[in-house]
Amino acid sequence: MTTNSQVIYLKDYQVPVFTIETTDLDIRIGDEYTSVVARLKVKRNPASNNPSSELALQGGKDIKLQEVMMNGLILDASSYDLEGSVLSVHQCPDTFELTTECLIQPQLNTSLEGLYKSGGMYCTQCEAEGFRNITYYLDRPDALSIFTTRISADKTTYPILLANGNPLEHGDLDNGEHFAVWHDPFPKPAYLFAMVAGDLVRQDDLFTTQSGRQVDLQIFVEAHNSHKCDHALSALKRSMLWDEQKYGREYDLDLFMIVAVDDFNMGAMENKGLNIFNSDCVLADPATSSDATFERIEGIVAHEYFHNWSGNRVTCRDWFQLSLKEGFTVFRDAQYTSDTYSAAVKRIEDVTLLRTHQFAEDAGPMAHPIRPASYMEINNFYSVTVYEKGAEVVGMIHTLLGAELFRKGSDLYFDRHDGQAVTTDDFVAAMADASGIDLSQFKHWYSQAGTPTLEVTDTYDAANQQYCLTIEQSTPATAECQEKSPFHLPLRMALLDAQGLEMPLQLQTGGMVQGHNCVLNITQARQTFIFEGINEHPIPSLLRGFSAPVKLNYAYTQTQLLLLASKDQDGFSRWEACQRLLIEATRQAMSATTDYHLDEALVTMLRSSLVDEALDPAMVAKLVQLPSEAYLAETQATVDVDQIHTGRETMRLAIAMALENELLACYQRCHNIGSFSQTGEAIGQRALKNTCLGYLNTLNKASYQTLAQTQYALQANMTDVGAALSILIGQKNADLSTPLLADFYQRWQGDAQVLGQWFAMQAGANLRGRLGHVKALLEHPAFDLRNPNKVRSVVGSFMRSAINFHAADGSGYEFVADMVLRLNASNPMMAANLAKPLGRFKRHTLGRQQLMQAQLQRLHQTELSKDVFEVVSKALTNR
């Protein structure tokens, strides 16, 4: 049990009684204590009708208040209260200056919230509520203030001193210290505050905005990482240009800084003018980073940059509105990636993430709408729902409005609310006002959790040449809402004839037809759409581009799916048809008692993709890859982890046996492409060849093991090296990988990013009985429990292997619960994230349900942080 588990409700929102017009911070970094003097210009908020004269400022449990002054006079102890961690100042006038002095010890801060030390540098993470660990403050996103920050520290140890905005002055002090003063002219909430002090090197670039202003771009990293900055800098410039062209959004300061830190709970943080990144999410070079890492970094750099408008210039009124900035910004970074690289491949990746992880969250005890109605700990709501489903909801608005009206809507939103802290209602209102489209029913997406299912049936009337589609929607009950109102959603579709050609569409009512494509406007629980002039029974290509975050059932025949899988012009739908076929075949493989025989039509379809040199190789790789075990679990009513694993392995082997020659030919063709390059074509070829190499190595033949060993030995690039090594680790014979793992470690032990991959490859191996190996990795000298990246590499990767996490004896659950307990006090946010999968026991087989609940009970009986308590208690209540 825990003591502090108060629930915060959206309905209780009230505007702040006071506002802080300016915030002057004087931060003196010392070895034992760091002193923080905060001088706040406070004013009564005219928007509040609360007559109270009490100013309540939040603080953290580890800050030591030294002194409180009002208008320059020291307040005696009777003029304020320090209860819990709230500082209440009594009898405040309408306008005054409040100065506090606090002492903090960042070097002891392991939660990585607030000011902390990572390696030799000081840095901050203030979202969501970290600023209160630095000083007493109105730590809420609707309290906007103009910040000036003075930092002083030892000059030799911390030669670089950074904060938000523009540098005002800097200089030397007598005792070997120096100082710098920074001023941010844009009012911002405290969660966007940042500062850094450390020994860092800088790489510079320049960007000229569309209006001709020059912006200095600077990346700060530790000296040994100076060769890993180029990619992030060029991604940043591409993002800046794209946001001007696509959204008309220009950068607004003369300086944009990025700092890389090794210890960071999440990917990166959009602090105004001073983004702070997890080293793993910004540092890259071809020798040490895979193609996937390059892609991920570009997406995150874009994401944080886009927050400058969607998040910073227009921010959130309260944390229930988190998806206002996160959903919109994920949508924007996905648009950026699809405009810059392959749109179909990006869509497939995003949909896979959503359907695997967000659908699971939506069906579990932590299910919440993209705008939650309540929370205990906001850190638990930086979720796939708020981010990824939030982006899907913005994407549906984009589909319903069309690109042009959506842009009118985003312009109106930014113009109307620039400098404000607003709500998702304000966002939807701007979209509705600019387009004239009624989005009132659409708003259910913000308040109702759960994944809707669409049941689609059809009839064809040859005599009248009419085709009718009937769509029924339903959404399962979730803890916060039992009875769901129907959602408003766009269903993009086309009709294909027997040759796979798109038919011309004539829809009676209920949707928009654009050429041979159409978007059905789904608003009711059950709805029928009639197409006229249809001269043969069509094959419907439904939910093109995954136009809504739903599950769609339609009784496709195998023949229909085969046609869609080879002919559908919509890249996403083509892949989707292929996946449906593979899922069905895997289902058969799961229940096959004797030797499983792969359907010849399926083999033909896979073969035609593998030999088609005109297709984008990245797309071919996606087409021939089996759905993950995690996604297969989503398609089962009761998850049987062993059956899924065995069935999928059977399928992999069957495909490799049936297509051995084609896989090898495809491997050779994509392997021999000359020197390393990072064009989309070359990246796609690497993805495809490594997919082929994986299949070939299910055959357990020495020649393919040699192929993988040779690819490793070539050391051509990290994509190929990592893939070859992972494939060899996945072989039952450990002798194949042991020497290579030692070699890999020898080569890269000095590089934290590569070492992370070394841990992840071993901990994530999808072979039974890996727990002992994983526990040994925790004892490795390079492992560090205080470093979230290492914890993710080892514990996170382990949990992704279902046969290990869900081992039938419960050892995986016990191990994870142990790790939750070890991290509970030191880093509650990380601990809670590890605990979340333990809560999703409901859909597992009975034995596993009991074992998972036993570990949750065990956690429940200990003193838990708010973060972990919320996850555990909801898991035990919301079954």
DSSP tally for the chain: helices H, then strands E: 29, 32
Interaction of residue 124 with ligand TRP, rule CB under 6 A: no
Least distance from C-beta 828 to ligand TRP, angstroms?
A: 11
Interaction of residue 382 with ligand TRP, rule CB under 6 A: yes
Stretch binding ligand TRP (CB under 6 A), from 50-58, 121-129, 414-422, 506-514: 121-129
Interaction of residue 129 with ligand TRP, rule CB under 6 A: no
Interaction of residue 379 with ligand TRP, rule CB under 6 A: yes
Rg, C-alpha atoms of the chain: 28
Least distance from C-beta 127 to ligand TRP, angstroms?
A: 5
Distance CA(286)–CA(754), nearest Å, equals 12
Burial 528-562 (b: 16+ CB within 10 A, else e): ebbbeebeeebbbbbbbbbbbbbebebebeeebbb
Catalytic residue among 295, 304, 502, 629: 304
Interaction of residue 326 with ligand TRP, rule CB under 6 A: yes
Interaction of residue 270 with ligand TRP, rule CB under 6 A: yes
Interaction of residue 232 with ligand TRP, rule CB under 6 A: no
Interaction of residue 125 with ligand TRP, rule CB under 6 A: yes
Residue whose beta carbon is closest to ligand TRP: 266
Task: Give the residue from 572, 571, 564, 562 showing the smallest Cα distance to 602.
Answer: 562
Least distance from C-beta 311 to Zn ion, angstroms?
A: 7
Distance CA(273)–CA(192), nearest Å, equals 9
* Helix axes of 718-729 and 752-763: crossing angle, nearest 10 degrees: 30
Helix (H, G, I), strand (E, B) or coil at 650: helix
Angle made by CA atoms 575, 682, 228, in degrees to the nearest 5: 115
**CB 671: neighbour CB atoms within 10 A?**
20
Which one of Zn ion, ligand TRP, none interacts with residue 382, CB within 5 to 8 A by kind?
ligand TRP
Least distance from C-beta 431 to Zn ion, angstroms?
A: 20
For residue 172, list its beta bridge partners.
178
Phi, psi of 693 (to 5 degrees): -60, -35
* Contact yes or no for 531/505 (Cβ under 8 A): yes
Beta carbon nearer to Zn ion, 311 or 812:
311
Distance CA(853)–CA(160), nearest Å, equals 49
**CB 458: neighbour CB atoms within 10 A?**
20
Least distance from C-beta 275 to ligand TRP, angstroms?
A: 9
Least distance from C-beta 240 to ligand TRP, angstroms?
A: 17
Beta carbon nearer to ligand TRP, 311 or 511:
311
Stretch binding ligand TRP (CB under 6 A), from 56-64, 261-269, 675-683, 696-704: 261-269
The amino acid present at 23, given as its one-letter code, is: T
Phi, psi of 349 (to 5 degrees): -65, -45
Interaction of residue 394 with ligand TRP, rule CB under 6 A: no
Distance CA(825)–CA(62), nearest Å, equals 13
Task: Give the residue from 262, 261, 240 showing the smallest Cα distance to 251.
Answer: 240
Beta carbon nearer to ligand TRP, 200 or 330:
330
Which one of ligand TRP, Zn ion, none interacts with residue 266, CB within 5 to 8 A by kind?
ligand TRP
For residue 35, list its beta bridge partners.
28, 103
Least distance from C-beta 379 to ligand TRP, angstroms?
A: 6
Interaction of residue 239 with ligand TRP, rule CB under 6 A: no
* Helix axes of 322-340 and 424-435: crossing angle, nearest 10 degrees: 60
Least distance from C-beta 383 to ligand TRP, angstroms?
A: 11
**CB-side neighbour CA atoms (13 Å) of 37:** 11
Beta carbon nearer to Zn ion, 270 or 502:
270
Which one of ligand TRP, Zn ion, none interacts with residue 314, CB within 5 to 8 A by kind?
none
Beta carbon nearer to ligand TRP, 266 or 803:
266
Least distance from C-beta 621 to Zn ion, angstroms?
A: 28
Least distance from C-beta 378 to ligand TRP, angstroms?
A: 8
Beta carbon nearer to Zn ion, 326 or 361:
326
* Contact yes or no for 29/158 (Cβ under 8 A): yes
Interaction of residue 298 with ligand TRP, rule CB under 6 A: no
Residues 6+ apart with CB under 8 A from 211: 250
Stretch binding ligand TRP (CB under 6 A), from 7-15, 125-133, 623-631, 840-848: 125-133
Which one of Zn ion, ligand TRP, none interacts with residue 650, CB within 5 to 8 A by kind?
none
* Helix axes of 811-824 and 771-778: crossing angle, nearest 10 degrees: 20
Which one of ligand TRP, Zn ion, none interacts with residue 753, CB within 5 to 8 A by kind?
none
| Residues forming the site for Zn ion (CB under 5 A) | 326, 329
Beta carbon nearer to ligand TRP, 298 or 304:
304
Distance CA(103)–CA(65), nearest Å, equals 7
**Residue 201 is encoded by which pair of tokens?**
């090197």
Place of tokens 């983004």: 275
Beta carbon nearer to ligand TRP, 111 or 766:
111
Stretch binding ligand TRP (CB under 6 A), from 266-274, 562-570, 697-705, 844-852: 266-274
Burial 326-349 (b: 16+ CB within 10 A, else e): bbbbbbbbbbbbeebbbbbbbbbb
Q: DSSP character for 485?
A: P
Distance CA(507)–CA(496), nearest Å, equals 15
* Contact yes or no for 65/87 (Cβ under 8 A): yes
**CB 515: neighbour CB atoms within 10 A?**
9
C-alpha dihedral (565, 568, 573, 577), degrees to nearest 10 = -20
Beta carbon nearer to Zn ion, 2 or 329:
329
Beta carbon nearer to ligand TRP, 151 or 268:
268
Interaction of residue 576 with ligand TRP, rule CB under 6 A: no
Strand-pair category, 517-522 with 489-496? antiparallel
Beta carbon nearer to ligand TRP, 309 or 382:
382
Beta carbon nearer to ligand TRP, 184 or 263:
263
Interaction of residue 873 with ligand TRP, rule CB under 6 A: no
Interaction of residue 268 with ligand TRP, rule CB under 6 A: yes
Contacting residue, 24, 291, 295, 304, with ligand TRP by CB under 6 A: 304
Least distance from C-beta 414 to Zn ion, angstroms?
A: 17
Distance CA(139)–CA(136), nearest Å, equals 8
Which one of Zn ion, ligand TRP, none interacts with residue 718, CB within 5 to 8 A by kind?
none
Which one of ligand TRP, Zn ion, none interacts with residue 534, CB within 5 to 8 A by kind?
none
Least distance from C-beta 54 to ligand TRP, angstroms?
A: 29
The answer to whether 681 is a known catalytic residue is no
Stretch binding ligand TRP (CB under 6 A), from 52-60, 123-131, 369-377, 712-720: 123-131
Interaction of residue 109 with ligand TRP, rule CB under 6 A: no
Element (H, E) at 580: helix 571-591
* Helix axes of 291-306 and 230-247: crossing angle, nearest 10 degrees: 50
Contacting residue, 128, 454, 598, 606, with ligand TRP by CB under 6 A: 128
* Contact yes or no for 73/53 (Cβ under 8 A): no
Interaction of residue 266 with ligand TRP, rule CB under 6 A: yes
Interaction of residue 380 with ligand TRP, rule CB under 6 A: no
Contacting residue, 68, 87, 114, 127, with ligand TRP by CB under 6 A: 127
Least distance from C-beta 268 to ligand TRP, angstroms?
A: 6
Beta carbon nearer to ligand TRP, 275 or 855:
275
Angle made by CA atoms 532, 537, 540, in degrees to the nearest 5: 85
Distance CA(294)–CA(277), nearest Å, equals 14
Q: Site residues (CB under 6 A) for ligand TRP? A: 125, 127-128, 265-266, 268-270, 303-304, 326, 379, 382
What residues act catalytically? Answer: 304
